[in-house]
Amino acid sequence: MRSTPEPTENEPVKRVLLAAPRGYCAGVDRAVVTVEKALELYGPPVYVRKQIVHNKHVVTTLEKRGAIFVDETEQVPEGATVVFSAHGVAPVVHEEAQALSLKTIDATCPLVTKVHREAVRFANEDYDILLIGHEGHEEVIGTSGEAPEHITLVDGPEDVANVTVRDPEKVVWLSQTTLSVDETLETVRLLRERFPAMQDPPSDDICYATQNRQLAVKQMAADCDLMIVVGSRNSSNSVRLVEVALEHGARAGHLVDYAEEIDESWLDGVATVGVTSGASVPEVLVRGVLDFLGERGYADVRPVVAAEESLVFSLPNEIRRDLKAAGMSDKMTHDGSFVASGSLH
Ligand code: SF4
């Protein structure tokens, strides 16, 4: 453990701006607790289709406790228990699970389910649905699967020119929940130039957590010589936070899974470091980054609060029912494991 160095006369005053909200959102919290409770209730192994949330640390920790992550439903043994991840699945995945007599627990975030329902509704009304999102992302695959014949993926502003629709008077746009707010507005603007009658979604598809984390970064970016975003590379909302920081004035920005990934040279000549984390990141990882910085003279930590969050979702019905029957708590409480130590502030 190194001691905190005293600043020299010519050295800039070192400080950290710590974004709030950051880290776990309500959907991630629910998904992680669902797997923890399933392990407790049914005992290991519990199968999880895809990464329950896009965070290396969470996945590794749950694996050690008996969760088995698989890419496809067919990899789950017949009759076993499988949890569907927070990103959501297409209806065909439910059919595959049924064919294998799997016990399913659907941890799809309710805010992703909301977008699925919108897709089904507009497809039933025979709209062409322009789904703004990243090609290959699990959430986009799940949403598209609700109405494949009606949905066209629009992967950012540069994709708009390629879009074709059957009837320009009957078009609606929807979006992935974890996109950049600004880039999505630009994509919508360009789409509307081509399809002036295009309808908006009934309510924001980019979720509150994505919006709030981007808002906090926007408020502090211009004051930051360096922005460190804690999150995994496959976490869409974490990657967006680095982009938003750079677009709004941070001189440099990096995504790290753990404090150990911070390159000491990033701190050369840096006075103010911004720190935030994606919606799938437990607070213990942010603590690690703050400790790392504190040991290098960045002990002055100032919060930048852009919004207050209090949303909590209840656990999926399937597991609540079984928990109740077993006389166990069906509340959204953690079992003391550090995986679930999410903190919004
Ligand atoms: S980022 Fe938003 S949509 Fe995704 S799990 Fe969290 S609350 Fe749900």
What rounded mean pLDDT belongs to the chain? 94
What's the 3-state SS for 130-187? EEECCCCCHHHHHHHCCCCCCEEEECCHHHHHHCCCCCCCCEEEEECCCCCHHHHHHH
Distance 167 CA to ligand 1 centre (A): 32
Q: Is the pLDDT of residue 340 over 70?
A: no
pLDDT of residue 338: 42
Nearest to 174 by CA among 193, 147, 194: 147
Question: Among 36, 96, 118, 139, which one carries the catalytic annotation?
Answer: 139
The answer on whether 224 is annotated among ligand-binding residues is: no
More confident position, 2 or 283:
283
Q: Do domains 15-24+208-305 and 111-194 have the same CATH topology?
A: yes
Percent of the chain with pLDDT over 90: 92
pLDDT of residue 344: 32
Distance 244 CA to ligand 1 centre (A): 18
Sign of the Cα pseudo-torsion (60, 62, 66, 68, in order): negative
**Among candidates 266, 289, 267, which has minimal Cα distance to 276?**
289
pLDDT in tens, 30-71: 999 999 999 999 999 999 999 999 999 999 999 999 999 999
Write the pLDDT tens digit of every residue in 145-200: 999 999 999 999 999 999 999 999 999 999 999 999 999 999 999 999 999 999 99
Q: Is the pLDDT of residue 345 over 90?
A: no
pLDDT tens digits, 246-256: 999 999 999 99
> Ligand 1 centre from 334 Cα, in Å?
19
Shortest-distance atom of ligand 1 to CA 279: 1
When pLDDT is averaged across residues 314-323 and rounded to a whole number, the result is 97
- Fold of the CATH domain 111-194: Cobalt-precorrin-4 Transmethylase; domain 1 (3.40.1010)
Neighbours of 182 (CB within 10 A): 15
pLDDT by residue (tens digit) across 216-227?
999 999 999 999
Question: In angstroms, rounded to a whole number, what is the distance separating the alpha carbons of residues 173 and 128?
Answer: 8
The response to whether residue 34 sits with its C-beta less than 6 Å from ligand 1 reads no
- The verdict on whether 96 is a catalytic residue reads no
- 26-109+311-338 maps to which CATH number? 3.40.50.11270
Query: What is the pLDDT confidence band of residue 10, given thresholds at 50, 70 and 90?
Result: low
Mutation test of ligand 1: which of 106, 116, 177 has the most ligand atoms closer than 8 Å to its C-beta? Answer: 177
Give the separation between CA 314 and CA 189, rounded to whole angstroms.
36
Q: Please report, for the chain, the start and end positions of each structural domain, with discontinuous segments joined by +.
A: 15-24+208-305, 26-109+311-338, 111-194
Does 239 sit in the ligand 1 pocket, CB within 6 Å?
Answer: no
- Nearest-angstrom CA–CA distance, 300 and 210: 27
277 annotated ligand-binding residue: no
Lowest mean pLDDT, pick from 7-21, 260-274, 279-293: 7-21
52 alpha carbon – ligand 1 mean position (Å): 12
Say if ligand 1 is within 6 A of residue 17 CB: no
CATH class of 15-24+208-305: alpha beta
